[in-house]
Structure 1
Amino acid sequence: MSPRAVLRGTPFPYRSNSLNLFRLILAATVLVAHSFYTTGNGVGPHIRGENLGGWAVAGFFVLSGFLITRSRLRTSAGDYLLHRIVRIFPAFVVCLIVTALVFGPVAALVQYGSLEGYLQTPVTPLQFVWSNITLYMNEYTIGSTLSDVPYPGVWNGSLWTLFYEFLCYVMVWLLGALVWFRRSPILAVLAFGLVTAAHALNPLVAAAGLDGSFLLFLKLAPFFLGGALVYFVIERAGINALIGVICLLIAGGLILLIPGWGGQMSSPFLAYGLLWLSSVVPQPRWVAANDVSYGFYIYAWPIQQLLALAGAGFDGGVLAFVVYNVLAVVLTFACAWISWMTVERPAMTRIRRRQTAVRVA
């Protein structure tokens, strides 16, 4: 068999992949990584200074970069932006409200036996919702709740990434307006190279006065743009098993061998490898039909904090830690399922029907 035949790709199976399953696994990995912090059991396993949750978020971003770029190039600018807003904001806002008006009062009752002062003590529940409603997390606390847990005061330590994900959505929205971006991968290559180099030169960027949120954007954007770049590759050449395996090996090597920015540099290889795996690993039908990974991600931390408040996972024993994680997974999945069935899927269905009606009219 010729080398060309060995490397020949097949079209990516957009309708029969296991990306829902992979994203759910990544969300569960974030939960397990955070469980070390929320139970006071240290910081857990790290790879090149990043915990497993951070690497799972990187996986989220490379897959999102691939899928979101496809969405941008297949829809109008208006439809694309509306889809992205509807996909991320309704469930996010409901999560803030549920945290402030359900989880918070439960925590107050467990801690103090009453709700006296709950609505008035800064940060008040309404302040918590309003100050975070734009996706940028300004406040993590609600009054004096969660003061007795190993990771005190923080009601949701996962939501901060959503602001940067939405910034990546906007970045691709703007790039998609350029004919050059639509016709050639060169601009995607340049954009990926630019943000990766900027991340690698973090000290110089910080010295120029661009620190804080901008550095976090530079940390995450290369993963998203790595996935965007791979979209152009797979659209033109398809996906190939041998290349997929090689890409996973290269990604692992870059992560392990290059401190600081090896992960960002690995993102196109990581994206290709994960996408290949998603094309060959089967997933249950109910997972294919129900994308609960987003809800799982946004509800995991508050569920973990409530379990910690109840004393779960405190004694440092392996069994207690395992039971804590099992309870967290089950309860988080229940919240994610409710979010999917009552908020996320209805919102997306409604907007798709409205856009279809507008096109027909």
Structure 2
Amino acid sequence: MTAATPQELAPARPDVRTAPEARLGRWHGRQMDPRRNGLNVVRLGLAVLVLHAHAYYISGRGVGPHVDGENLGGWAVFGFFAVSGYLITGSRWRNPLSTYLVHRVARIFPAFVVCLLVMVAVVGPIGYVWLHGTLSGYLTTSTTPANFVWSNLFLRVNAYDIAGTPADVPYPGAWNGSLWSLYYEFLCYLVVGLLALVGFMRRSVWGLVGAFVLSVAAHAGWPHGVATLLGGNVDAQLLAKLLPLFLGGALVERLRHRLPMHWAAAAGSVAVVAGAVWLLDGWGAQLTAPFLAYALIWVGSALPIPDLLRRHDVSYGIYIYAFPVQQLLVLTGAHELPLLAYDVVALAVTVPLAVASWLLVERPAMRWARRSTAARPA
């Protein structure tokens, strides 16, 4: 995945005009202001980190730096899921299931479907002509453009190439290696949506703590018997890997009134995550997901950003369009530039696509969803 998402999720609206106070014993301070924060920039940074991680693969420079078996893109995805868990849980706890699902579908699906169409109408033909010198046979060569769209239409990505392209490039057979994570993010949406139907989950945070602990146990126990019980199902394995990050963010949201935003606590959280990753093989990030979420939320609460970036979230567009842009740039030879220069060129080409996705698809879809559900009671 390298990343998700989309993340891309509208900040929860509070019941008051300013961020309320949070207290933990004698320690007190402010919660993150849900209306004036830098989470859009946090997610934008994570999307750019995914772009950078993919640049190693796409340009033929190997796999890049890894930490605890994850490349930089994988860690960015962890961050996306933690932040999404925080935002999504607040939305779910304030809305009935029907409203919540309409909002979630409107947030993730329209831009995703448009991206698929752009890939078969623009990206695939360019790659096919570059490879064959003609468009003859483009519509009938496996994987056909129609099959590409249909196979991937419901978020689970089953096809990465279009008509046998890209080919003769350092990373062949995949036009968009970022889309895979969106399926698992939507599954996390469904998990939180269903958990909130349980009265105990709504009344007490301990229910959510129990769900988080079970998710960590499922991931940590995957090599030790859980995989056998589930027949080695890859979807279950990836969900078990990412769900703890999402529920970690959910826990921070449910405890927000007890967790003041403070730099020292954020620094301590980073130290806890680093220690767990160092000591535990492959599941330290999952175990300390609430600490990771807290650190990212603190960054979002402390970042001073202009209103333009606060009101416009292009991180999802960058996430879904960067990979095909990077592959197209390979056809021009841009991947032979120094890695950071290649990153800058790819980002410069991707940003207009992300802005168009936000202005023409994502924001209108979310506005429609809000209008269509405005009269529904909680």
Q: Is the 8 A contact 1:156 1:301 kept in 2?
A: yes
**Deviation of 1:49 (Å):** 1.1
* Match of residue 353, structure 2, among 318, 322, 335: 335
Which of residues 330, 333, 349 in structure 2 aligns to 1:308?
330
Return the offset for 1:267. 0.7
Shift of 1:73: 0.4
Tell me the residue number matched to 1:242: 264
1:205 equivalent in structure 2? 226
C-alpha deviations, 1:86-134, integer Å up to 9, x for none?
0000000000010011111111122222101000101100100001001
Tell me if structure 2 keeps the 8 A contact 1:7–1:243.
no
**Cα deviation per residue 1:212-236 (whole Å; 9 max; x = unaligned)?**
1110110111100110111111134
2:365 is matched with: 347
2:11 matched to which residue of 1? none
Q: Cα–Cα, structure 1 residues 162 and 359, in superposed 2: closer, same or farther, change >3 Å?
A: closer
Match of 2:292 in 1: 270
SS in structure 2 of the partner of residue 313 of structure 1:
helix
- One-letter code of the match for 1:28? V
Query: How far did 1:207 drift?
Result: 1.7
Give the CA deviation at 1:168: 0.2
CA distance in 1, matches of 2:281, 2:216: 13
Query: Any idea what SS the aligned residue of 2:334 has?
Result: coil
Q: Distance in 2 between matches of 1:179 and 1:9?
A: 30
Contact residue 24 and residue 260 of structure 2 kept, 8 A: no
Partner of 2:211: 191
Would you tell me which structure has more helix in proportion to its own residues? 1
**Is contact 2:99–2:376 with CA below 8 Å preserved after alignment?**
no
Q: Could you tell me whether the CA contact under 8 Å between 2:24 and 2:259 is conserved in 1?
A: no
Name the structure 1 match of 2:18: none
Given that 1:11 and 1:235 are in contact with CA atoms closer than 8 Å, whether structure 2 keeps it comes out as yes
Q: Secondary structure at the match of 1:151?
A: coil
- Who is 2:80 aligned against? 60
Q: Tell me, in whole angstroms, the C-alpha distance in 1 between the residues paired with 2:194 and 2:171.
A: 39
Secondary structure (helix, strand or coil) at the match of 1:9 reads strand
Consecutive unaligned residues in structure 2, runs of 5 or more: 1-22
Conserved? CA contact 1:131–1:139, under 8 Å: yes
Alignment of 1:1-361 (within 5 A): 7-203=27-223, 204-208=225-229, 209-314=231-336, 319-356=337-374, 358=375
Q: What letter corresponds to residue 211 of structure 2 in structure 1?
A: A
Task: State the SS of the aligned residue for 1:350.
Answer: helix
With over 3 angstroms needed to count, the CA separation of the structure-2 counterparts of 1:157 and 1:7, relative to structure 1, is: same
Once the two structures are superposed, residues 230-267 of structure 1 have per-residue CA deviations (whole angstroms, 9 ceiling, x without a partner) of 11111344433332221121112212221110111121
Q: Is the 8 A contact 2:120 2:145 kept in 1?
A: yes
Deviates more, 1:85-94 or 1:320-329: 320-329
Amino acid at match of 2:360: T
Partner secondary structure for residue 335 of structure 2: coil
Cα drift, residue 151 of structure 1: 0.7
Count of matched residue positions in the alignment of Structure 1 and Structure 2: 353
Q: What amino acid maps onto 2:355 in structure 1?
A: W
In 2, Cα distance between the equivalents of 1:67 and 1:240?
19
Structure 1 residues 321 and 243: CA distance shift in structure 2, 3 A: closer
Whole-Å separation in 2 of the counterparts to 1:304 and 1:257: 36
Gaps of 5+ in 1: none
TM superposition shift of 1:4: 6.8
Contact 1:7–1:242, Cα closer than 8 Å, also in 2:
no
Q: CA deviation at 1:178?
A: 1.4
- Scaled by the length of structure 2, the TM-score of the pair is 0.90
Paired residues of 2:142 and 2:162 also in contact (CA < 8 A) = yes
Moved more, 130-139 or 208-217: 208-217
Per the normalisation by structure 1, the TM-score is 0.94
CA distance in structure 2 between the partners assigned to 1:341 and 1:237 by the alignment: 35
Aligned partner letter, 1:240: H
Distance 1:141 1:65 in 2: 31
Alignment partners' CA distance in 2, 1:12 and 1:340: 24
State whether residues 24 and 258 of structure 2, in contact with CA within 8 Å, keep that contact through their aligned partners in structure 1.
no
Q: CA deviation at 1:145?
A: 1.7
Contact kept, 8 Å, 2:128 with 2:163, in 1: the verdict is no
Tell me the amino acid that sits aligned with residue 161 of structure 2. Answer: T
CA distance in 2, matches of 1:6, 1:308: 56
Q: Percent identity?
A: 50
Cα separation, partners in 2 of 1:313 and 1:235, compared to 1, 3 Å: same
- 8 Å CA contact 1:254–1:262 kept in 2: the answer is yes
SS at match of 1:169: helix
Give secondary structure in 2 for the equivalent of 1:8.
strand
Structure 1 residue identity aligned to 2:339: F
2:7 alignment counterpart: none
